[in-house]
Amino acid sequence: MSYLFTSESVSEGHPDKVADQISDALIDNFLAFDKNSKVACETLVTTGQVILAGEVNSKTYLDVQKIARDVINKIGYTKSEYMFDGNSCGVLSAIHEQSPDINQGVDRSKPEEQGAGDQGMMFGYATDETENYMPLALELSHRLLIELAALRRENKDIGYLRPDAKSQVTIEYSDDNVPQRIDAIVISTQHDDFDASEEVMLAKIKKDIVEILIPRVVAKLPAHIQTLFTDNITYHINPTGVFVIGGPHGDTGLTGRKIIVDTYGGKGAHGGGAFSGKDPSKVDRSGAYATRHIAKNLVAAGLCKEVLVQVSYAIGVAKPTSINVETYGTSTVDLTDGEISKIVETIFDMRPYFIEQRLKLRTPIYSETAAYGHMGRTPEIKTVTFSNPMGETVSEEIETFTWEKLDYVETVKKTFKL
């Protein structure tokens, strides 16, 4: 019997994502001037206020107020009527030095013996149902909001959009887990106040979403995904009605509260640790990226159609306490999942130092991860520039989303004789 599966996404203007983006901007600035920075930075945003808290061990000094304001303005909170804007909001910093008790478990005289920054388990997932090996419901949820943000910035076809928004996509799957059709799409978007009745306003917003946003999204999709957009989709557009009050004024935002949006939309599993605001010595982040890298390369190599990879660590210990691979019965080789796990362990060195080196994680690449998902993104090589209060400016060529590269496919094929 067919079944329904749903995933959601949130826009860059959602209060939790505002917090994530500020935290990751701080990470990037610290790493730009000191590659060995150890940072765990949390952000809270609410009406007219930003509060920064956390622990840092770094040789550089930053103007954290300016960094936070620049992020907020870039997102689009630039007007006083939003009750939260980058130029006038208060920014309070309670960042202090990292505990030496934690640091002693991470730093080692030999870099390759670097211990894990915390205990815990991390998961990576991949499926062949999309070209980027991501679950389709989440991929579509992200795409809807990326396009909605583009429309907001163009300020042409839809001129009333504000930064806060959420999306949700429900897909019908067949018994053999193949997407059949889109059952429902939910979009709630913040908007300017209308000089019209609520009924007229909601009709206008729904018409624009269905007739402007959806066709723009569909046009950028592969043909086999486009066919899932039928005339039988149920649309819930701003189902609560008026959505003028939004962003941090409408709902307090905190770093790390959208970890399912950040990963796989409820598919696979999640270890519970957030990513944003953490340097790569924190295995919550680096371990999750590394397991996604493994999972994607295993599926791309044809070892299986779907896979979940788990790794776990003890704080201060380099070698993982476990590595597990689950192929959901889709493996194409005559090996148990336990046997596959042992072989995968020989291909990918999962000690924290080697993850950082393999995926080039000690570079300022994190701001781009903080909205629209950390997984399923396209790697790029680009040059970034940062300045600090001491008058120093650094420019650096970086490679983003390295964990999405299919650079181990041939190794996997050779090792498993595919």
- Binding residue numbers for ATP: 14, 164-166, 251, 257-258, 274, 278
The DSSP secondary-structure symbol of 116 reads B
DSSP assignment of 234-271: EEEESTTS---S-HHHHS-EETTS-HHHHTTTTSS---
Amino acid code (one letter) for 5: F
* Length of the chain counted residue by residue: 418
What distance, in Å, lies between the first and last C-alpha atoms of the chain?
A: 33
3-state secondary structure 200-238: HHHHHHHHHHHHHHHHHHHHCCCHHHHCCCCCCCEEEEC
Pairwise CA distance, residues 41 & 390, whole Å: 22
Binding-site residue set: 14, 16, 42, 55, 98, 164-166, 251, 257-258, 274, 278, 282
β-strand partners of 121: 312
Q: 125 pairs with which residues across the strands?
A: 308
Please report, in range form, the residues annotated as the binding site for Mg(2+): 16
Q: Which residue has the tokens 């550089």?
A: 60
Helices (H), 34-122: 64-75, 100-106
CB-CB contact of 258 with 10 (8 Å): yes
> Which residues are known binding-site members for K(+)?
42
CB-based contact 7:373 (threshold 8 Å): no
Structure tokens at 70: 């620049």
SS3 360: coil
Q: Is 413 exposed, middle or buried (0-12, 13-18, 19+ CB in 10 A)?
A: middle
Which residues does the annotation place in the binding site for L-methionine?
55, 98, 251, 282
Starting at the earlier edge strand, list the strands of the sheet with 306-313. 120-127, 306-313, 322-326
